[in-house]
């Protein structure tokens, strides 16, 4: 078998070329991301927040996640006595009081 015949049989199909062209922008975007962006999860932890219904006596710990490139707003993550983690609305009056008391102590 000659080299020309072997090369023709290895020629990619038009569908394969189209598929490669469709995925090329995604590959470029992933590989050109800066190292700081690829170190962590770049999304908000709190997609949905609770503004009432969780009494402060059920909260064992609070974690404040500052706003940054990963998420535009600060997030308030509460761990309850039963181990469940919930996101609290930091603008709710009850949770503003809780935050104020924690900061005062």
What pLDDT was estimated at residue 102? 74
What pLDDT was estimated at residue 82? 94
User: Would you say residue 94 has pLDDT above 60?
Assistant: yes
The whole-angstrom separation of Cα 86 and Cα 64 is 12
The closest of 83, 41, 84, 82 to 65, measured between CA atoms, is 41
Higher pLDDT, 95 or 22: 95
Beta-strand runs (E) in 1-105: 59-65, 75-80, 85-88
Could you tell me whether strands 75-80 and 59-65 are parallel, antiparallel, or unpaired per DSSP bridges?
antiparallel
Per the document, the length of the chain is: 105
Cβ atoms 64, 52 nearer than 8 A: no
Higher pLDDT, 80 or 8: 80
CATH class of 41-104: mainly beta
What pLDDT was estimated at residue 35? 39
Residues contacting 99, CB < 8 A, separation 6+:
62, 76, 90
Confidence at 84, pLDDT banded by 50, 70, 90: very high
According to CATH, where is 2.40.50.40 located in the chain?
Answer: 41-104
Residues contacting 47, CB < 8 A, separation 6+:
87
Residue linked to tokens 């809780």: 98
User: Would you say residue 10 has pLDDT above 70?
Assistant: no
pLDDT tens, residue by residue, 15-70: 766 666 676 666 555 554 443 444 455 688 888 888 888 888 888 888 888 888 88
Confidence at 81, pLDDT banded by 50, 70, 90: very high
User: Would you say residue 83 has pLDDT above 90?
Assistant: yes
């Amino acid at each position: 078998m000659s080299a020309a015949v072997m090369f023709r049989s290895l020629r990619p199909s038009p569908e394969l070329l189209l598929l490669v062209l469709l995925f090329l922008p995604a590959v470029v975007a992933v590989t050109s991301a800066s190292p700081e962006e690829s170190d962590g999860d770049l999304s908000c932890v709190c997609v949905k927040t609770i503004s009432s219904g969780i009494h402060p006596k059920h909260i064992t710990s609070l974690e404040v996640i500052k706003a940054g490139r990963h998420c535009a707003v600060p997030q308030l993550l509460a761990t309850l006595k039963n181990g469940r983690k919930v996101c609290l609305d930091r603008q709710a009056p009850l949770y503003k009081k809780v935050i104020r008391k924690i900061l005062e102590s």
